[in-house]
A = this chain, B = another copy of it.
Amino acid sequence: MTLTVLVADDHAMLRSGMRAIFETQADLRCVAEVADGRAAVAEVARLRPDVAVLDIRMPKLDGLGATEMILADPANRTKVLLLTTYDSDEYVYRALNAGASGFLLKSLPPEELISAVRVAARGDALIDPSVTQRLIARFAVSLAPPPMPPELELLTAREREVLQLVAAAYSNAEIAAQLHVGDETVKTHVSRVLAKLGLRDRVHAVAYAHVNGLVQPR
């Protein structure tokens, strides 16, 4: 089973370099070379290669835009590998959002480029290690709970518990039932929470709790 590859780069020398690299492999065939993003989109739609290797910087339509157009069309099953000279964070996030199967630097050794094409073709993905490092950092913070505002320390455990329930839009009576206490007690807790946090009413409390991530664990 031979894999077909499209190469898009505005430098002819780089294109033929990559073609030469792929030609060393019996199971890889470079079926098209294009010099800009629009041509890449068109040729992918026409030839439906297994993998498209796109430079980020290209005339008319850059690699990111081309990626988005290619992957937005469900008729395409082409996997997209993005190549760039210098890594830049914004590029990466846009590329990954668009669903690219790879984000690689041009400093990549030829044999790894070949391996990357095979990886992409089988539906997996890979990211250049230097980018992965920052991606992990970003990913970690994106999953990390937002920092607890210090005024939350003013609340007792019970009050925080009540706040959680208020944030879940329970009425005082419902909270009382869940906590097995009287509703007057709940009113007291809610009042204290509002006072300590400087909130006007339970509506503000709900908004506060949501913005400060007290309720995210859906």
State which of A1-9, A28-36, A202-210 sits at the interface with chain B.
Answer: A202-210
Which residues of chain B have C-beta atoms less than 8 A from A129's C-beta?
A: 119, 124-126
Which residues of chain B have C-beta atoms less than 8 A from A132's C-beta?
A: 124-127
Inter-subunit contact A127/B124 (CB<8 Å) = no
The one of B124, B142, B200, B203 that contacts A206, using a Cβ cutoff of 8 Å: B203
- The answer to the question of A86 belonging to the interface, with a C-beta cut-off of 8 Å to chain B, is no
Which residues of chain B have C-beta atoms less than 8 A from A139's C-beta?
A: 96-97, 135, 139, 142
- Give the distance in Å from the alpha carbon of A119 to the alpha carbon of B109 in the complex: 14
Question: How near does chain B come to A111, taking the closest CB pair, in angstroms?
Answer: 10
Pull 13 A–B residue pairs with CB atoms less than 8 Å apart, ordered by A: A96-B140, A97-B140, A97-B143, A99-B136, A101-B133, A123-B133, A125-B132, A125-B136, A127-B127, A168-B207, A169-B200, A169-B207, A207-B215
Inter-subunit contact A218/B210 (CB<8 Å) = no
- Give the distance in Å from the alpha carbon of A59 to the alpha carbon of B206 in the complex: 43
Inter-subunit contact A211/B218 (CB<8 Å) = yes
- The answer to the question of A144 belonging to the interface, with a C-beta cut-off of 8 Å to chain B, is yes
Inter-subunit contact B136/A169 (CB<8 Å) = no
Inter-subunit contact B142/A133 (CB<8 Å) = no
Inter-subunit contact B140/A133 (CB<8 Å) = no
- Give the distance in Å from the alpha carbon of A132 to the alpha carbon of B97 in the complex: 13
Within 178-218 of A, Cβ neighbours of B (below 8 Å) are at 200, 202-204, 206-208, 210-211, 215, 218
- Give the distance in Å from the alpha carbon of A210 to the alpha carbon of B97 in the complex: 22
Which residues of chain B have C-beta atoms less than 8 A from A126's C-beta?
A: 127, 129, 132
- Give the distance in Å from the alpha carbon of A204 to the alpha carbon of B210 in the complex: 12
- The answer to the question of A167 belonging to the interface, with a C-beta cut-off of 8 Å to chain B, is yes
The one of B93, B124, B144, B211 that contacts A133, using a Cβ cutoff of 8 Å: B124
- Give the distance in Å from the alpha carbon of A155 to the alpha carbon of B112 in the complex: 52
Question: How near does chain B come to A149, taking the closest CB pair, in angstroms?
Answer: 14
Which residues of chain B have C-beta atoms less than 8 A from A144's C-beta?
A: 97
- Give the distance in Å from the alpha carbon of A125 to the alpha carbon of B133 in the complex: 5
